């Protein structure tokens, strides 16, 4: 059996097989000339194997992924690992410190700035440093996100299923829902995949919160993925019971038709029939009630949490399911109820 080689830490230095290391890696400087550093933990397995990245908080208020990666760095033993995992729990440190989605000084989106530019503006230089040092050298990667402020997502995977390596990675995570597509220009998963590092994004929950049930489910997904890649000695490969592949034509955000106060009738992860009343919107006097109905039978994967809307504001994200998947969904719910 081949022995694991020392892992080189950018810009220099080594980690021996079976070791882990915590570093603070400089990606920029602030207005005082002080370094802006991101936390990085590298788990270098005792045995040779693939190199993977785990990233979170490219949007500074998205916290579930931070806790997921912290669990990995604090509980997974490199002695039981084949290969290397590069853990980057807080990509956008300035936004994280301000608890804002975007870079506080410019409102720019780090997750639309990859692969970055060595000589570009500040956020693109930051993206370039992260991408070249930690993302591009990997064999595959998973980027964690939550919904934006005021909304919540059920756990689902975003992946370009036209690429077999990405499709294999997406299926290994064991999510019920996979939404097929390349992703926006400048997003980490799209640019990493185009740089020959197959990558997916995992959406779960809402901003500004640790949601333990979703975090635990995502950790199970990671255990499944790393078992599938023979990086960890575990049998916890997940088959989700039911699964649906969604393309861009099969999902839609349904928007409010009027302004007012929203009363919701469903939660993320609920199946709704065509014509079901998802919510009602009323004015402060609880009059002039309008109803928002489901345009087709499908699954709610994203839902408004802030109950105040204007006309045109998004209320729920709906994906269509085929009849076979709907039956499997109902079967899984019945099984859960029996337990």
Q: What pLDDT score does 337 carry?
A: 43
Contact between 289 and 236 under an 8 Å Cβ cutoff? The reply is: no
Prior bond of 115 cis (ω within 30°): yes
Contact between 314 and 273 under an 8 Å Cβ cutoff? The reply is: no
Q: Which domains does the chain have, with CATH numbers?
A: 7-240 (3.40.630.10), 249-338 (2.40.50.100)
Tell me, rounded to whole angstroms, the distance of Cα 138 from its chain centroid.
Answer: 18
Residue 142: CB atoms within 10 A of its CB come to 26
Phi-psi domain of 338 (left: phi exceeds 0; alpha: psi -120 through 50; beta: other): alpha
pLDDT mean values, one per 10 residues, the chain (339 residues): 58 82 94 95 95 97 98 96 97 96 94 96 96 96 94 94 96 92 96 98 96 96 94 76 71 91 93 94 88 92 92 93 78 53
Q: What pLDDT score does 339 carry?
A: 33
Q: What pLDDT score does 288 carry?
A: 78
* Residue count (the chain): 339
d(CA 189, CA 182): 8
Q: What pLDDT score does 338 carry?
A: 38
Q: What pLDDT score does 83 carry?
A: 96
Q: What pLDDT score does 3 carry?
A: 52
Residue 86: CB atoms within 10 A of its CB come to 22
- The interaxial angle of helices 212-228 and 64-75, nearest 10 deg, is 50
């Amino acid at each position: 059996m081949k022995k694991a080689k020392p892992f080189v830490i950018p810009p220099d230095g080594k980690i021996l097989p079976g070791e882990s290391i915590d570093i603070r890696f400089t990606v920029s400087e602030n207005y005082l000339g002080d370094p802006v550093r991101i936390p990085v933990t590298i788990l270098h397995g005792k045995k040779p194997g693939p190199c993977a990245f785990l990233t979170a908080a490219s949007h500074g208020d998205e916290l579930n992924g931070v806790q997921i990666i912290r669990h990995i760095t604090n509980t997974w033993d490199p002695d039981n690992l084949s290969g290397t995992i590069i853990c980057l729990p807080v990509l956008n440190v300035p936004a994280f410190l301000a608890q804002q989605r975007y870079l506080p000084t410019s409102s720019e989106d780090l997750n639309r700035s990859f692969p970055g530019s060595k000589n570009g503006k500040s956020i693109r230089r930051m993206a370039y440093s992260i991408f070249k040092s930690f993302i591009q050298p990997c064999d595959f990667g998973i980027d964690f996100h939550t919904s934006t402020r005021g909304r919540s997502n059920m756990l689902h995977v975003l992946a370009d299923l036209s690429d077999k390596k990405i499709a294999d990675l997406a299926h290994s995570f064991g999510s019920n829902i996979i939404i097929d597509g390349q992703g926006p220009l400048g997003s980490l998963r799209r640019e990493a995949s185009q740089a020959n590092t197959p990558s997916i994004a995992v959406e779960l929950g809402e901003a500004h919160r640790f949601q333990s049930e979703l975090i635990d489910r995502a950790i199970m997904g990671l255990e499944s993925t790393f078992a599938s890649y023979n990086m960890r000695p575990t049998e916890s490969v997940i088959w989700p019971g039911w699964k649906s592949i969604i393309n861009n034509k099969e999902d839609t955000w349904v928007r409010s038709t009027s302004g007012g106060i929203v009363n919701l009738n469903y939660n993320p992860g609920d199946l709704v029939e065509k014509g079901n009343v998802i919510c009602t919107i009323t004015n402060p006097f609880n009059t002039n009630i309008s109803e928002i109905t489901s345009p087709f039978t499908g699954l709610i994967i994203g839902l408004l949490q802030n109950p105040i809307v204007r006309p045109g504001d998004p209320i729920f994200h709906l994906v269509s399911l085929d009849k076979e998947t709907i039956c499997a969904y109902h079967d899984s719910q019945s099984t859960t109820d029996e337990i």
